[in-house]
Amino acid sequence: MSHTLLQALCLVLVIEGILPFLCPRIWRQAMAQAVVSPDRQLRIIGLVSMLTGAGALYLLKF
């Protein structure tokens, strides 16, 4: 279990590093926009992201 969790965390780091590596200017603009976004909007984006990921994991497992 812990080995699988570590693999998943490593994969998250790889995926999150793709955009700053390929398009640093776009990534910087997105981060600047996120800084000025209201907390509610960021929470909604985070919730949608978590639900989408959980749903995809569920579908891939079955």
pLDDT of residue 39: 96
Residue 20 lies in a domain: no
Low-confidence ranges of the chain (pLDDT < 50): none
Residue 44, class by beta-carbon neighbours within 10 Å (0-12 exposed, 13-18 middle, 19+ buried)? exposed
Residue 51 lies in a domain: yes
Counting the structural domains of the chain, the total is 1
Q: Residue 46: which domain range?
A: 25-62
Query: Phi first, then psi: what are they for 38, rounded to 5°?
Result: -65, 150
Provide the residue count of the chain.
Answer: 62
- pTM recorded for the entire structure: 0.73
Residues 6+ positions from 9 with CB-CB distance below 8 Å: none
